[in-house]
Structure 1
Amino acid sequence: MKKVYCIGEVLIDFVAERQGSDLSKANQFTKKAGGAPANVACAISKLGGNGIFIGSVGNDPFGKFLLKTLKNEGVDVSLTQLSDTFTTLAFVSLSEDGERDFVFSRGADKELKYNPDLRKNLPGNILHLGAATALLGGPLEKTYGRYLFDGLTKDMFICFDPNFRIDLWKDDEETFIKKCMPFVEKSHLCKFSSEEAQLISGKEDLHDACDALHKVGTKIITVTLGKEGTLLSMNGNKKVIPSVKVTPVDTTGAGDAFIGCLLYQISDLGNFEPVFEDFSLLEKMVATANKAGAITTTNYGAIVALPTKDQLDK
C-alpha cells in the first residue's frame, strides 16, 4: 500500500451547533479538530491506509490537542512542525440542513517550512495538496510549491483540492484562481465542489467546466454535488455517480472524507496505471467514496464522523 502525504493546514474548528447560520448570534461553541488536509489524512488512516500529515501547529494547548487527535486516528505526524505562532482557529456555524459558514483566525499553519530530507521518502507514493490556506502567502505557500515540484520529479500521484473559502479571499477571487492554475495543470486528480469548478474554469455548465479544466492539464476530475453524488470526468468520459441517501446534520468534512476514501483506494492498488485507463474502475471507487462522504454528514464534526472500514463496508 502506498503512503499518502497530506500537506496543508490543521486547525481548531469552534463549531456553533444547532444555533443557526448567523455566527453573530451564536453563544456556545464546541472544540473540534479540523483542517481539510488533516481531515483527509485521518480519513485515509481510519480506513486502514497510510495517512501522513505535514503541517504546522502552535506550541500551545490547541496545537497539542490537534497532534494528539491525529495520532489517535493513526495518522503519522512525525513531520508536523511546532511554531511559536498561535494555532490557527476557525469558527463554524451550522444551518438546520447541515450547511456551514466559516470565519478564520489564521495562525501557525502559515509557518510550515520545506523539509528537503523528505524527498527520499516520496518516490512512487501519493501527494495530496489541500489549499484552503496554502495559497495565502507566507512560508506555507512557498513550501507548497516546492512539494509540488518534488511530487512531479519523484513520480508521485498528485491530488489537488482547492478548498475555496470565501472568508479567506473576500473580493480577491481572481488571485485565488491564478494561484490554483499551476496545481490544476500538474495534478493527476483534482477534486472540486461545483462552485469551485465553476469559479476556477469560468464556466457555468459543469461539463464545460470539466472540459476547460482538463485543457489546463489535470487528467481526472471529480466534482462533488452533495446529495446528488459526484460528477466524474476522465479521457472524454463523464458520469454522475449517485450518492446514498442520509439525513445530514453537519456537512463539515464530507468532501475530505470523499477524497480521503478515494485516495485510500488508489493507494491500495499498488500501481497507478489502472486509474488512468479504466473508467469503470474509477466509477466503483467514486461510488465507495460517495458513501464515505455521506456517512460523515450524519455526525457532528469532521474527524470524529469519518467512517472506519467496517462502517463503510456495512
Structure 2
Amino acid sequence: MPPPRITVLGECVADAFTEPTSALNELALRVLPGGGPANTAVALARLGTPARFLARLSGDVFGRLFRAHLAASGVDLSHVVEAAEPSTLAVAELDTQGQATFSFHAQATADWQWTSGELAGVDLADTACVHTGSLALVKEPGAVVVEDFLAAAAPRSTISIDPNVRPLLVHPEVYRARLAHWCGFADVLRLSEDDLDLLLPGTMPEQACDTWHAAGARLVVITRGADGALASLDGKRVQVPAVATQVVDTVGAGDAFTAGLLHHLGTRGLLGGRLTELRLGDVEAACRFATQVAALTCSVSGPNPPWEGQLAQSATAADA
C-alpha cells in the first residue's frame, strides 16, 4: 500500500551561500532553493510519500527557481498561490563544522501574506498529516490564518509542527508565547537542541518534553546533531544515536529528519487523527530511519535530501 498524502504548509526561502572569490571588492553568492517547510516537502516526495505543498510563490527569479526545484522532486504544486510580492532571501555563512548562520531579507515578502480565502478551498479529505512550522507560524499577517487552518484540520489529520526558531528575524518570545497553543492541536512536535535552548533556556530535554506533553503534544522529538535524537511519546522515552557521516554542511538536516520520521510513520499506516495506534517501538524505528535521511542530507551541500533509491544504496553499502 502506498504511503498516504502529507500536506506541507509554509515558506520557500532562497538560501544564498557565500563563495570565495579572488577579487577584494566583490562577494559571490550561490543560491539554492530552501526554507524549512519547502525542504520537508521535497524530502517527503523524494522518499516516495505523496507530498502537496501549500505556499505563496512569487513570480520573480527565485520563485521560478522554487517551482522548478519542487516540481523536479515530485511535489504537488496544485494549490500554490501565485503571489505578487517578492521572494524571501536568506544569506548563509557556514562555520568550520558546516553549521549555517542566516541573515534574512524577509520584509513584506510573499511567504507571510496568507489570507483565509487562499486556504479556504484546500481539501484535506485524503491528507493523513499536515506539517508546518518555522516562520509561517509566527510572521504576520499570515500566522493567525495558518494557525486557524491547522486547528480546523486537527480533528481529521495528524498535525506536525517544527518551530525552527529564527531569532534574528523573530524574537524567541514570540514562539514561546504561541507554543503551548500549538501543542493544543499538534500531535508531533519536532525541534532541535538549539530550538530548545531558545524556547526553554536551561531546561533539560526530558523536562521540556513533559511540559509540551502537558500542553497537548503526544510525540515530541528533539534532534541533537551528532548525539542523535530523544523521542518522547506521552512521557515514555527513547534515545536514538546519530548515523556517522562525513559532514559537508547541516543545512536542511532537521527538515530531512522530520520528513523521514513522517514518511516512516505514514508507510506503516500510523498517521491520521490523534496517533492512537502509535507505540514507542514505532517511534524508535521511525527515528532510526529519520537519522539516516538526515545523515545523507549532511553529506552533501545545501538542503538536498536523498531520494528513496539513495537510501537503499546507502543501506547496501553499510551492510557490505
Normalising by structure 2, report the TM-score.
0.89
User: What residue is the counterpart of 2:31 in the other structure?
Assistant: 31
One-letter code aligned to 2:82: L
SS of the aligned residue for 1:212 comes to: helix
Q: For residues 220-254 of structure 1, give each alpha carbon's deviation from its aligned partner in whole angstroms, at most 9, with x where no partner exists.
A: 01000001100011132212100111121110000
Does 2:52 correspond to 1:49? no
| Structure 1 gap ranges (5+) | 20-24
2:57 touches 2:81 (CA, 8 Å); kept in 1? Answer: yes
Distance in 2 between the 1:101 and 1:17 partners?
15
Note the C-alpha offset of 1:269: 2.3
Contact 2:63–2:87 under 8 Å retained in 1: yes
Distance 1:236 1:205 in 2: 14
CA separation in 2, counterparts of 1:136 and 1:161?
A: 15
When residues 199 and 11 of structure 1 are mapped into structure 2, their CA distance, relative to the original with a 3 A threshold, is closer
CA contact 2:10–2:37 (8 Å) conserved in 1: yes
- Supply the distance in 2 between the matched residues of 1:248 and 1:26 (Cα, whole angstroms): 28
How far did 1:59 drift?
A: 1.7
Stretch of structure 1 that moved more, 175-184 or 283-292: 175-184
The verdict on how the C-alpha distance between 1:81 and 1:277 changes in structure 2, with shifts beyond 3 A counting, is: closer
Question: Which residue number in structure 2 is paired with residue 191 of structure 1?
Answer: 190
Is 1:235 the counterpart of 2:234? The answer is yes
Residue aligning to 1:117: 121
- What do the CA deviations read for 1:104-132 (whole angstroms, capped 9, x no partner)? 111111123332121x3345521001222
One-letter code aligned to 1:247: Q
Q: Which amino acid aligns with 1:161?
A: D
Partner of 2:318: none
User: Which residue number in structure 2 is paired with residue 262 of structure 1?
Assistant: 261
What secondary structure, in the 3-state scheme, does the structure 1 residue paired with 2:28 have?
A: coil
Is 2:133 the partner of 1:134? no
What does residue 148 of structure 2 align with?
146
> Would the aligned equivalents of 1:258 and 1:290 in 2 still touch at CA under 8 Å?
yes
Moved more, 198-207 or 7-16: 198-207
User: CA shift at 1:213, angstroms?
Assistant: 1.4
Specify the code of the residue in structure 2 equivalent to 1:3: R
Q: Is 262-271 or 204-213 further displaced after alignment?
A: 262-271
Q: Secondary structure at the match of 2:238?
A: strand
1:237-252 correspondence runs (5 A): 237-252=236-251
Aligned to 1:22: none
Q: How does 1:2-17 map to 2 (within 5 A)?
A: 2-17=4-19
Query: Does structure 1 retain, via aligned residues, the 8 Å contact 2:7–2:53?
Result: yes
CA distance in structure 2 between the aligned counterparts of 1:133 and 1:271, rounded to whole angstroms: 26
8 A contact 1:96–1:249 mirrored in 2? no
Q: How much has 1:182 moved relative to structure 2?
A: 1.3
Cα distance change, pair 183–134 in 1 and its aligned pair in 2 (3 A)? same
Contact 2:7–2:127, Cα closer than 8 Å, also in 1: no
Q: CA deviation at 1:295?
A: 0.9
Contact 1:266 1:275 in 2 (8 A): no
* Partner SS for 2:97: coil
Superposed displacement of residue 282, structure 1: 1.1
Partner-residue secondary structure (3-state), 1:168: coil
What letter matches 2:300 in structure 1?
N
Aligned to 2:83: 83
CA, structure 1 residues 101+219, in 2 after alignment: closer, same or farther (shift >3 Å)?
Answer: same
Corresponding letter in the other structure for 1:163:
N
> What amino acid maps onto 2:153 in structure 1?
G
How far apart in 2 are the matches of 1:26 and 1:264?
43
Equivalent pair of 1:11/1:57 in contact (CA under 8 Å): no
Instruction: Give the secondary structure class of the aligned counterpart of 1:186.
Output: coil
Q: Is the 8 A contact 2:19 2:27 kept in 1?
A: no
Identity %: 25
| Change in 2 beyond 3 A, CA 1:287/1:104 | same
The number of residue pairs the alignment matches comes to 302
Shift of 1:11: 1.6
8 Å Cα contact 2:151-2:185 kept in structure 1: no
Question: Which string of whole-angstrom CA distances, capped at 9 and with x for unpartnered residues, describes residues 264-313 of structure 1?
Answer: 112222343777542112101100100111110111110xx211112222
Distance 1:229 1:208, change over 3 A: same
- Residues 178-217 of structure 1 correspond to what in structure 2 (within 5 A)? 178-201=177-200, 203-217=202-216
What is the Cα-based RMSD across aligned positions, in Å?
A: 2.0
* SS of aligned partner of 2:149: helix
- Determine if contact 2:45/2:51 at 8 Å carries over to the other structure: yes
Preserved CA contact (<8 Å) 2:14 2:35: yes
- The separation in 2 between residues aligned to 1:102 and 1:53, in whole angstroms, is 24
